[in-house]
Amino acid sequence: MKDVKILAIESSCDETAAAVVLNGREVLSNVISSQIDIHTLYGGVVPEIASRKHTERINRVVSEGLLQAGLKLSDVDAIAVTYGPGLVGALLVGVSFAKGLAFASGKPLIGVHHIEGHICANFIDHPELEPPFPCLVVSGGHTHLVRVMDYGKYEILGKTRDDAAGEAFDKVARAIGLGYPGGPKIDKVSDAGDPAAIEFPRAKVADNIYDFSFSGLKSAVLNYLNSARMEGIEVSQADVAASFQASVVDVLTEHAYAALEEGGEKIFAIAGGVASNRHLRKAFEEGCEKRGIKFYRPEPIYCTDNAAMIGAAAYYEFKNGVRSDMSLNAVPNLKLGER
Ligand code: KG4
Ligand code: ZN
């Protein structure tokens, strides 16, 4: 098959992004325009503002994506776009723009699942990685332990019953005064803290050992802060951050090792914004090495939202003949494995 260049667009949350990806594995350009500075003022993503900013920026971001790849629209083989899950108004900006481009250029259009994109970020710069393999997806909206059976085929082993891992990071960060976005801040502040200072719970879900629950952990942190305040005990932000993070890392790694043991696989991957957490990466690097498991993780820039991962996922859809038409719409609660 001849080389396939896909122009990919991502606008599901607060990053407006465009990328060109060659054969699903090689990134020719990766442009990300983050809105974090604006949403920080409000302590979280404001959907209306996100949509407006995407609208303002998408044209320039996509042009820049082509420019940095040294290509014109007529040089690409297909146009891919995230159509769910995510914020409906934000998704619609990318979907409408991609439809317009596809219509005007006559190029095929491919709608991509955002979480599938996160998983496929592992293919970037890892030519040897192929399904099947188990993957832990940990983002702001999702915590899924899946088995990637084939390209585009997933078996969900477990997922969160309440908060996503990234959501827990964001909520705890707010409670200890770190602000938005919480994950990267806790990651950094915890360097100065003691992960064993406070014993926070490591939740298990009784009827499915692969399911997660983080709301109890979040409540435990809030209770700790309230009790300390009432008793006049000084709270160490770094100790709370490090102890909370240690609990999340323990839960995520234990679930993953249980699945690996049952499945007997010797490879494992992580994906999503929380996968950029240095402590989680280190825990998996050490734990997988001890167990003789080859551990894959995308570069941090491909863990948080980006369009290169959408271009990687779209390549396999393209090869399988999957095409979207002009009826493609934003699906805010699209499930993994659905089309
Ligand atoms: O994948 P992502 O960029 O967007 C979603 O699809 O949700 O993930 C964003 C989430 C946020 O909750 C953010 O706090 C978290 O990922 N995150 C981190 C780190 N960087 C981003 N969590 C822990 N440590 C980090 N270094
Ligand atoms: Zn994401």
State both tokens at 85: 């899950």
Per-residue pLDDT, averaged over 126-131, amounts to 97
Q: Tell which atom from ligand 1 comes closest to the C-alpha of 166.
A: 12
User: In Å, what is the CA distance from 281 to each residue of 249, 251, 284?
Assistant: 9, 14, 5
Q: Among 118, 148, 113, 123, which residue's Cα sits nearest to residue 133? A: 148
Residues 94, 88: Cα–Cα separation, whole Å: 10
For residue 1, is pLDDT > 80? Answer: no
- Quote the strand ranges of the chain, DSSP E: 5-10, 15-22, 26-34, 78-84, 109-113, 133-138, 143-150, 153-159, 267-271, 294-296
Per-residue pLDDT, averaged over 279-299, amounts to 98
pLDDT at 188: 98
226: left (phi over 0), alpha (psi -120 to 50) or beta: alpha
Q: Write the pLDDT tens digit of every residue in 227-271.
A: 999 999 999 999 999 999 999 999 999 999 999 999 999 999 999
Pocket residues: Cβ below 6 A from ligand 1 = 13, 139-141, 166-167, 169-170, 181-184, 187, 272-274, 276-277, 304-305
Q: Write the pLDDT tens digit of every residue in 144-180.
A: 999 999 999 999 999 999 999 999 999 999 999 998 8
Q: Tell which atom from ligand 1 comes closest to the C-alpha of 12.
A: 6
Residues 180, 190: Cα–Cα separation, whole Å: 16
pLDDT at 180: 86
pLDDT at 326: 98
Q: Write the pLDDT tens digit of every residue in 193-217.
A: 999 999 999 998 988 999 999 999 9
State both tokens at 217: 């952990």
Q: Tell which atom from ligand 1 comes closest to the C-alpha of 165.
A: 12
Note the ligand closest to the C-alpha atom of 274: 1
Report CA 132 to chain centroid distance, whole Å: 20
pTM: 0.97
Name 225's Cβ contacts closer than 8 Å, sequence gap at least 6.
175, 176, 235, 240
Residues of the chain with CATH 3.30.420.40: 5-119+303-319, 131-301
Q: Among 9, 25, 27, 34, which residue's Cα sits nearest to residue 273? A: 34
Q: Write the pLDDT tens digit of every residue in 87-114.
A: 999 999 999 999 999 999 999 999 999 9
What's the fold here for domain 131-301? Nucleotidyltransferase; domain 5 (3.30.420)
Per-residue pLDDT, averaged over 279-308, amounts to 98
- Containing 2, the helix (H) or strand (E) segment is none
Residues 327, 242: Cα–Cα separation, whole Å: 47
pLDDT at 94: 98
Q: Is 175 exposed, middle or buried (0-12, 13-18, 19+ CB in 10 A)?
A: middle
Residues 274 and 166: beta-carbon distance below 8 Å: yes
Q: Write the pLDDT tens digit of every residue in 15-50.
A: 999 999 999 999 999 999 999 899 988 988 999 999
State both tokens at 44: 């979280």
Per-residue pLDDT, averaged over 267-285, amounts to 98
Q: Tell which atom from ligand 1 comes closest to the C-alpha of 278.
A: 26
Query: What's 5-119+303-319's CATH class?
Result: alpha beta
121: left (phi over 0), alpha (psi -120 to 50) or beta: alpha
Closest CA to ligand 1's atom 16: 273
Mutation to probe ligand 1, out of 120, 169, 189 (largest number of atoms < 8 A from CB): 169
C-alpha 198 to ligand 1 mean position (Å): 23
Q: Among 305, 312, 308, which residue's Cα sits nearest to residue 35? A: 305
The sign of the torsion formed by the CA atoms of 231, 233, 234, 236 equals negative
3-class secondary structure, 274 = helix
C-alpha 15 to ligand 2 mean position (Å): 9
Residues 142, 309: Cα–Cα separation, whole Å: 16
Could you tell me the pLDDT band of residue 339, with boundaries at 50, 70 and 90? Answer: confident
C-alpha 17 to ligand 2 mean position (Å): 12
pLDDT at 59: 98
DSSP string, 101-169: HHHHH---EEEEEHHHHHHHGGGTT-TT--SSEEEEEE-SS-EEEEEEEETTEEEEEEEBSSS-HHHHH
pLDDT at 155: 97
- Residue 153's beta-bridge partner residues? 150
